[in-house]
Chain A
């Protein structure tokens, strides 16, 4: 097996890359509003050095009542340099880093399971197999695929987190300061990439620092220096987190009723039990295997975040780990299982696939451990037949998932992905020269950012319902874009249908007014 490890790993990486890049523009269909915002801000930074609001090289990007973190946006600027301003450029960083995380995950597990942390012969002997299988499972995971194809920042943050953990484990094993420095650098990047990691990373780092200080008391000064450097680099984020802009996201999504009339005990018991309820919702079998979090952008409604065939192996892996609960490895996995859903448990809706994305790592490891455990435990005559059956079952379920993802998903979840805006902008481009001005009804969603992204040469007037034609334009014909069924004039120019819609649903109409 050792002989072929590199080859298998390369194959897994190629598979991961293919699954993440194939038809990246078409599926998911259209760019979601956050992706367009990322794309336009990145383009604007690249072109003029300012964001959409005219702020020079900002650290926080204002977007739709909240602030976006900077790493994904600045990374997209590079992607735009290579691929131009299009959908592929916005999604490429996520897809590429998503594939890269598979490799990093392999090395992380290999390093952990071959270290003294494993503390068990079974884990040490099977380290390579568990690492290969875990990374393979991550490569074909519907949860990981779903979140690493669109431009979701969380996927990038997860990749940085895996790299950060990998370098920390390397430092733990070899004691080289460069590894610790790189590890902390990646952790800082998670901090500036996705909001959930503003909670996870500090908790994780406090524990990590304590463990490292206990292991290397002679390197206390160096570790503390790097810790201090991290603290200094985190200061802008800490400062931002306590500002009104930084708190906006949390206040908009908090799961807790902040009611001053409640007594102290009521308030805290509510807090505790709501948190507990949300926390355990992430371990609900319905969430894991049936339906995910019911948000169309985060998954397919027929599938949970894990494949159905993995259910018995998850339990088997959990029990195997619990059997070896005294090992540092089990404690590490246990703490990751507890830590991962915390940000999602503090907010609503819960469970939430994005905010608890870190959970995918311990779950995939547990499933891989379960599979390997069964493989080792079974006798030869049973082993082949049982595993042939499991392979066929998992292959069928995976192909079934791909069929739903590529054929059904672009039709059933089209509205959630903002498809149709690109066609609107293209149609407006065709008519624009004939009209004095273009008027777009804001009922369409947030059309301004789509116009900026797809063609920033057009400068429409965005209006609210109840708008009336200004006197100076009274006698001039205007191009009016709306999704309303009202008839603003007698002359309808065009209809824009939702792409791929089986029922030919209308997305918008163009009128001359």
Chain B
């Protein structure tokens, strides 16, 4: 029994080290790319551009669709999706981390259905909503602090999901070993991905 627990700790340890290596790639960045940040100037330009296509449409209809509130919400949603897009997730979580994230969300869903509130819920809410702060305000913080505030909590949530998966599944150890193997060997296909998310 103890031996199996040791294997689980080793596996989690490997994932922690691996995710730290992935995170280290981001140390060479100084900020996220502009795709991740809202720009009021860009929004104004966009609205004007779209209105130009509405020749012959009553003004009230044009403004009903092309107004700042509507475009602001759409813009924010679009950028928020970037933070949850698979290539971005793979850049700092890898395949095993994304699996952990999904597992974490699943166990949380199970707990919420049973009306059990867990600390994971707060971490989940934090990682879901924190990107909005980055998108809207894009605070002028050192990138290292941004990573600590944004990416590390995600990795923690993924690790917690992975740990639950390991402890609650009979075949968990085998599956996690397989996923670590695929993650490490497959990383050469994703290793340069992080550069797509760094500001030039």
* Interface set of A (CB-CB < 8 Å, partner B): 269, 273-274, 276-277, 280-281, 283-286, 289-290, 302, 308, 315, 319, 322-323, 400, 403, 407-408, 411-412, 502
Distance between B87 CB and nearest chain A CB, rounded to angstroms: 7
Distance between B114 CB and nearest chain A CB, rounded to angstroms: 11
7 closest A-B pairs by CB: A284-B86, A286-B85, A319-B109, A273-B189, A408-B53, A273-B186, A285-B81
Task: With CB as the reference atom, state the residue of chain A lying closest to B189.
Answer: A273
8 Å CB contact of A407 from B57, B84, B86, B189: B57
> Provided the pairs A283-B86, A286-B85, A289-B81 are in contact, do residues A407 and B54 lie with their beta carbons within 8 angstroms?
yes
Cα distance, A308 to B74, chains bound together (Å): 9
Is B81 in contact with A286, judged by CB distance below 8 angstroms? yes
Is B186 in contact with A276, judged by CB distance below 8 angstroms? yes
Is B55 in contact with A290, judged by CB distance below 8 angstroms? no
8 Å CB contact of B85 from A285, A302, A319, A403: A285
Cα distance, A277 to B84, chains bound together (Å): 16
Is A407 in contact with B53, judged by CB distance below 8 angstroms? yes
> Provided the pairs A319-B109, A322-B106 are in contact, do residues A280 and B77 lie with their beta carbons within 8 angstroms?
no
Is A502 in contact with B55, judged by CB distance below 8 angstroms? yes
Is B185 in contact with A269, judged by CB distance below 8 angstroms? yes
> Provided the pairs A285-B84, A290-B78 are in contact, do residues A403 and B189 lie with their beta carbons within 8 angstroms?
no
User: Which A residues touch B77, using CB under 8 A?
Assistant: 289, 308
Is A277 in contact with B65, judged by CB distance below 8 angstroms? no
Is A411 in contact with B85, judged by CB distance below 8 angstroms? no
**Residue B132 is within 8 A (CB to CB) of chain A in the complex:** no
Distance between A505 CB and nearest chain B CB, rounded to angstroms: 14
Is A408 in contact with B50, judged by CB distance below 8 angstroms? yes
8 Å CB contact of A502 from B52, B85, B86: B52
Task: With CB as the reference atom, state the residue of chain B lying closest to A404.
Answer: B65
User: Which A residues touch B86, using CB under 8 A?
Assistant: 280-281, 283-286
28 A-B Cβ contacts within 8 A?
A: A273-B185, A273-B188, A274-B189, A276-B182, A276-B186, A280-B86, A283-B86, A284-B86, A284-B87, A285-B81, A285-B84, A285-B85, A286-B81, A286-B82, A286-B85, A289-B77, A323-B110, A323-B113, A400-B65, A400-B70, A403-B61, A407-B53, A407-B57, A408-B50, A408-B53, A408-B54, A411-B53, A502-B55
**17 extra A-B contacts, CB within 8 A, seeds A308-B77, A403-B65:** A274-B189, A276-B182, A284-B85, A284-B87, A285-B81, A285-B84, A290-B81, A302-B74, A308-B74, A315-B105, A319-B105, A319-B109, A322-B106, A400-B65, A408-B50, A408-B54, A411-B53
**Chain A interface, >50% SS class:** helix
Distance between B104 CB and nearest chain A CB, rounded to angstroms: 12
Counting chain A CB atoms within 10 Å of each CB, which of B57, B81, B109 scores highest? B81
Task: With CB as the reference atom, state the residue of chain A lying closest to B185.
Answer: A269
Cα distance, A400 to B77, chains bound together (Å): 16
Cα distance, A276 to B179, chains bound together (Å): 13
User: Which A residues touch B106, using CB under 8 A?
Assistant: 319, 322
User: Which B residues touch A502, using CB under 8 A?
Assistant: 52-53, 55
Cα distance, A319 to B85, chains bound together (Å): 19
Contact with A along B29-73 (1 / 0, CB 8 A): 000000000000000000000101111010001000100001000
User: Which B residues touch A411, using CB under 8 A?
Assistant: 53
Cα distance, A357 to B105, chains bound together (Å): 27
User: Which B residues touch A280, using CB under 8 A?
Assistant: 86
